[in-house]
Chain A
């Protein structure tokens, strides 16, 4: 059977790399005595596939992973044994059995929602901030540099920004953003912040805090969660 887990990455969990998480998941399933299925071949590895890698330093309350087991087990039992075996950096939020024929998580997830908190160095009103974001929103394209295997290339991120809402709270601003993710393109919240900094004159500090609220699948303009398909 294949189970889909929705999990969160806590404040300390945000420092785990994707590889750390992969190793941890395998160990968690072993500790939980759940029968992991392995790939065939010369160097078998457990059939664990993640939704979308979370950057180091980012917390999240909406991460997904699909894990294949060799036999059927009640979901409740799986959840209970996982809870005991899970280290404090990761917490299981939901679990569901999924149909093997459906597409893999990586292929379908295409939207990520983030909350970004940034300290302000000066003061700014809500109206001024709204105006600034509108200005950002109206820019037709925005190029960022990406370092790839074939050197540095320019990528337009504007079309990957689906929504941008900001709020001024005391000496901080909080921005909620809906960004493209997945195999067809990926926009990083840091890049959007850089864009805001460059296009508007808002005195923003360093040390931002990024939280991923969730990963979604956008179908016909509507967002559904990976647990709903």
Chain B
């Protein structure tokens, strides 16, 4: 086996950028004997090593599976184009990092679907591994191809290529899946009968086997419905949720890469879910309810992780870390404890309020680089529409406090093209940027800091996502998005304000693949055949190829992205139950049009989204348990 490893190391790696992307002998790597386990699995991340290794979900599943005696899990990432070219020229199949086994030799390959624009990389990786792309073309000897991650809440565009999807949080269900596969094979002397196996797998809650469901269309080509067509298979698949974050697995000896990765630090997950209820936010809907990990456990885990990784930074990660009920005490404890060892604490994002500002002051005692806030929209009206409970007063308060405390660079995140948006709202974005800048100028002059403040506004384009109140909303057309982007650009006339915006065609495709149906699979395949890969990397994005392919396939992407839906419409993801009810989503959509704000159920009444009732789970807020 190691002949491949030697060959790659000797002949190939000197000729590619960042060879350590492909070596995989990092500290804390797990290498198990190939012959010592019953089932060999591979975690496949359809992007570069540096991106994939920054993903906490992969870390959790990798170490969890490898801690089981009967299984091993190795890793593979999308090879960068220079490596791909050499692999193809030399006819070397894509291989795993741990043992250099061709990926085809694994029993089961799990891809993670983190963002839609990584889909072409999945096809590319399968092909580089010599694995037939379509599930229907794979035999009993080919690996099973599965996927998990947020995009499985509408996996229909990928249904042709995957044997099954795991919906929801993976910690528990992954072991049930692997056990089912192992037992199936043991009964058949290591052989696999895929149809029977898939039937068994589909009995596991959270496992969706697309081949058992049939998609139907109206005569005009619009989506009609998707329905189970197999005996003994559930009509709807309900997502899996872990009940208690303190009880669930968390890796305490994570891999420490040699090369710098995107999030090169300890990732300590402090809570899961968010009930702030922003109406555009898919994560805020599909990861409900909020479950906090207790401070006592977090402090213990941090201590362990510092020793096992040697990192000098602990990032408290979650969708909204400043919402953790004991975050202040946690940050206090950690900063005090590790001050002397020069280990810092960081928060990935900050809520726009003075509480979060106090936290930031506490942890950023030394380095005063940029501080990021996300008002998301430019006017109060539109912020109410999207249920972003932030006021202009909040924003001015925190930026005032930030400049006074010594920060000079403020970054603001906005979204463009939100439902009901007018040019007044765009003016609001510009106004806010100028107001923050002027505040900075005044304060920094007063403090005689002799430097100029800087305000960065990053404006992304709204993408309607499944399982959100805005899933029925049309996206602005490309022309409108681009016009709005220019409109803002023309109004920013101060060099101290930096304006960033996203490529509009990319946001359009993202909407199409987020909301599209099963027929998109063939579009995807053709686009990949046309050379599309690494679409989310600007230098590789080929919109003209995509346009051609849509035409060739006679698939009108505009009908997906620009369509305004009705409550009674069947949607391509209706058979997937994320706990949040469609009724709640529609009610939230109505309230958006009334600019009515819905409170967070942690501090207000239950908003009856349905998650706790449907999934038999509950909010888990630690402060209440211990008393205040």
Contacts and interface: CB of A to CB of B under 8 A. Distances in A.
Interface string A128-170: 0000000000000000000000000000000000000000000
Given A27-B310, A89-B25, A43 B366 contact: yes
Interface in B275-321: 306-312
Q: Which of B23, B26, B310 is the most central at the interface, judged by chain A CB atoms within 10 Å of its CB?
A: B310
B9 interface: yes
A23 B258 CA distance: 8
Given A16-B20, A27-B256, A89-B258, A44 B307 contact: no
Given A26-B310, A30-B312, A88-B25, A16 B9 contact: no
A92 interface: no
B11 interface: yes
A88 B256 CA distance: 12
B23 A12 contact: yes
A171 to B, nearest CB: 15
Given A26-B310, A31-B310, A87 B25 contact: yes
A12 B9 contact: yes
Contacts of A85: 27, 310
Interface string B1-45: 000000001110110000110010111000000000000000000
Contacts, number: 68
Interface string A65-92: 0000000000000000000010111000
B341 A30 contact: yes
B260 to A, nearest CB: 7
B626 interface: no
Contacts of A207: 10-11, 14
Contacts of B308: 31
A194 interface: no
A19 B260 contact: yes
A15 interface: yes
B342 interface: yes
B11 A24 contact: no
A220 interface: no
B366 A15 contact: no
Contact of A20 (B9, B25, B27, B259): B259
A15 B310 contact: no
Contacts of B9: 11-12
A190 to B, nearest CB: 12
Interface string A17-33: 10110011011111101
B91 interface: no
A117 to B, nearest CB: 11
A43 B256 contact: no
B366 A29 contact: no
B448 interface: no
A41 to B, nearest CB: 10
Nearest to A46: B342
A223 to B, nearest CB: 29
A40 to B, nearest CB: 12
A42 B366 contact: yes
A214 to B, nearest CB: 22
B493 interface: no
B27 A87 contact: yes
B367 interface: yes
A27 B311 contact: yes
B26 A31 contact: no
Q: Which of B20, B258, B309 is the most central at the interface, judged by chain A CB atoms within 10 Å of its CB?
A: B258
Interface in B327-346: 341-343
Interface string B437-481: 000000000000000000000000000000000000000000000
Contacts of B13: 15
A27 B256 CA distance: 9
A198 to B, nearest CB: 22
Contacts of B342: 36, 38, 44, 46
A87 B310 contact: no
Nearest to A30: B310
A17 B11 CA distance: 19
Contact of B260 (A20, A30, A57): A20
Given A12-B23, A30-B306, A87 B258 contact: yes
A29 B309 CA distance: 10
A87 B260 contact: no
Nearest to B341: A30
Contacts of A19: 260
A43 B367 contact: yes
Nearest to A41: B366
Interface in A168-198: none
Contacts of B312: 26-27, 30
A121 B342 CA distance: 54
Given A38-B342, A207-B11, A87 B256 contact: yes
Contacts of A26: 310, 312
A28 B310 CA distance: 6
Contact of B23 (A15, A24, A44, A46): A15
Contacts of A46: 342
Contacts of A36: 342
Contacts of A42: 366
Contact of B309 (A15, A27, A56): A27
Contacts of A17: 259
A33 B307 contact: yes
Interface in B360-388: 366-367
A34 to B, nearest CB: 10
A18 B545 CA distance: 40
A43 B364 CA distance: 12
A151 B306 CA distance: 44
A23 B306 CA distance: 15
A42 B342 CA distance: 12
A221 B95 CA distance: 50
B258 A31 contact: no
A70 to B, nearest CB: 10
A207 to B, nearest CB: 7
A29 B23 CA distance: 23
Interface string A35-59: 0101000111010000000001100
A111 to B, nearest CB: 25
Contacts of A20: 20, 258-260
A33 B264 CA distance: 20
Interface in B401-452: none
B32 to A, nearest CB: 16
A156 to B, nearest CB: 28
A101 B9 CA distance: 42
Contacts of B11: 207
B366 A87 contact: no
A31 B26 CA distance: 14
Top 8 nearest A-B pairs (CB, nearest first) are: A27-B310, A30-B310, A31-B310, A87-B27, A15-B19, A15-B20, A12-B23, A88-B25
Interface of B: 9-11, 13-14, 19-20, 23, 25-27, 256, 258-260, 264, 306-312, 341-343, 366-367
27 contacts: A11-B9, A12-B9, A12-B23, A15-B19, A16-B20, A17-B259, A20-B258, A20-B260, A23-B260, A23-B264, A26-B312, A27-B27, A27-B310, A27-B312, A30-B306, A31-B307, A31-B310, A38-B342, A44-B342, A85-B27, A87-B25, A87-B256, A89-B258, A207-B10, A207-B11, A207-B14, A209-B10
Given A20-B258, A27-B256, A31-B309, 20 more contacts: A11-B9, A12-B9, A12-B25, A15-B13, A15-B23, A23-B260, A27-B27, A27-B309, A27-B310, A27-B311, A30-B343, A36-B342, A38-B342, A43-B367, A44-B342, A57-B14, A87-B256, A87-B258, A207-B10, A207-B14
